[in-house]
A and B are shown apart, each in its own frame.
Chain A
Amino acid sequence: MSYSLNYEYLYIAYKLSLLTFYIGVLIYALPIPMPGIKKWGPILIQDGILAAVFVLVINLFFAAGDRIAQLVGGSWEFFRVWLSSSSSILITLKSILLIIESIPNVAGTLTGIKSVAKIADKMITSALIFQAFIAGLAWIVKNLSGFLASIGAILYAMPFRIARSAGAWIIAFLVVFSAGLQALPVFLQAAAGNSSFSGFGPIADYGIAMANISVEALEGRAYTGILHVQLYDSGKEIARYIVRDGYARGKYSDEGVLVPSKTKIVYDYEYLGVSFNMVPYPTFPSNYTVIGGLWLLNLSNPFLIYSGNGVLVFTSGSTREIYHDDNQLKIKIYLKTNDYIEVRYIKSCDVSLSVSPGSGSRVRGSWSWYNLSGSYDKFISSKDREYDVEIKFDCRGSGVPRASVKSYASIRKIAESFFGFNLIKMFILYYFTLPSLYLLMLYSIAFGLAKALGGRERLPLRVF
């Protein structure tokens, strides 16, 4: 990323370094033979030159910091994913703990679990506050670094070292933290991957994962709809998410949704009353790509041609070619006898379906699904052959269903494994202790760098 430094401030800093230099020269030229005053001459001359160099290469410091972060595998994107997924996991756990705490304790049977829940709740609350603190730091470093670094340069270049250490500290802090925060998830992963910490780290080990799931039609991603998560064995629905702009969205985070990480499941995409079993079918934990604790999955279905806002096009044949323009789809499709292609749309849409050659029958009707209702237009083939289909649509209004999200977090399962005290300990280690350790480390590096930038008190310049 680029740090937009304030060049007016930098110019002032540069001019200040010139001023520092010439004050040094003036002191050299003073006809007063007092070492107490004269010692400032060489110091200020050196400071002036150093400050000028520093002000001009300040960009390089940031570039070097970024480069180091990239070398170890960090990036702001990685940091954002880590922060977002870990905080939404913490919030989910907190809500589960609140539920447990609110269960009435009849005859004292739940005293044990409730007392642990109370402690865990406090720990998770503090971990959440800490995460917010890290997020705040990242925000400052990302958004204010240009401005702050320019101010730091001015402070650095002031004559007589009035604010030199303050300026050095600001710049060292920004450089170290902008590189260090990007690499934070890398550090945590490396620590969690250490085998001496068994049962420690990614929440996926406890049967739950944060997943970023995209729902793809043959033409583009699904605009909206409902994604059901079902158990493969029993068909029971364990979670339900709303699809927005191609991705399943949960309650707390736009980065992803909670899914089981150890069970064979089926993703069922439903829109306008039609549901599709999405491929991979069934979905195994090994089907996901895991990046930075976030599980990625693309769902698709060969019969789902297009799913827009209030429009759904699907078939039972095989699609050969699709051409998509703003409000128009041209499809080459092979249909066997009794195969069909259907377009469904909400009331506020104008849709026309034309098929050539027209060797088949047309069925029209209406449907209603959640808060939406509309019509469908279906072409059923009477021969085995290829057709050219043209669909024009013009939609106004929203095609988003008013359905509730049901997040996956099997309270019983998590409670069973989570409320081993050991697990809570590990959890806090991962989300609280290790990050704070890391931040302390960054702090001390920043301190060291500031000292290096601030330089020693006396610089041996006199060459007599």
Chain B
Amino acid sequence: MTLQEILNLIQNTTHQITTLAWALFLLTWSIGWTIRGSPIPIGKLKRAGNSLIEDSVWAAFWLAIGSTIFNLILYIVSLITH
């Protein structure tokens, strides 16, 4: 396995994971609202639904901001090293 192949493998995996994460965000978000909004009067269940929503929102936040963060790191580092 050459370096390029390793690199491609990593990049493809990252890409797939990103796509999957977006899909899962939608799923988790809907499941979360479904549980939270369901007419079952159990507080524990409602809290679980709530935490799913919060987690999915965080995931969406990191997904959206991820590439920005890494570009920012690259930019700052290039400022320091040059």
- A residues sitting closer than 8 Å to B (CB atoms) are 8-9, 11-12, 15-16, 18-19, 21-26, 28-31, 33, 38, 41, 45, 49, 52-53, 56-57, 59-60, 464
Contacts and interface: CB of A to CB of B under 8 A. Distances in A.
A22 B66 contact: yes
Nearest to A57: B77
Interface of A is mostly: helix
A22 B51 CA distance: 20
A29 B26 CA distance: 9
A31 B14 contact: no
Interface residues of B, number: 36
A11 B73 CA distance: 14
Contacts of B27: 31
Interface string B53-79: 011101110110010011001100100
A28 B77 contact: no
Given A19-B14, A31-B56, 20 more contacts: A11-B7, A18-B14, A21-B62, A22-B14, A22-B21, A25-B62, A25-B63, A29-B21, A29-B24, A29-B28, A29-B55, A29-B59, A29-B60, A30-B55, A31-B24, A31-B32, A31-B52, A53-B77, A57-B80, A57-B81
Interface of B is mostly: helix
B64 to A, nearest CB: 10
A56 B55 CA distance: 30
Contacts, number: 93
B6 A52 contact: no
A21 B31 contact: no
A22 B18 contact: yes
A341 to B, nearest CB: 59
Nearest to A22: B17
Contacts of B74: 56
Contact of A56 (B7, B20, B77): B77
A60 B17 CA distance: 32
16 contacts: A15-B11, A16-B10, A19-B13, A19-B17, A24-B62, A26-B17, A26-B20, A28-B59, A29-B24, A29-B28, A29-B56, A29-B59, A29-B60, A31-B28, A56-B74, A464-B54
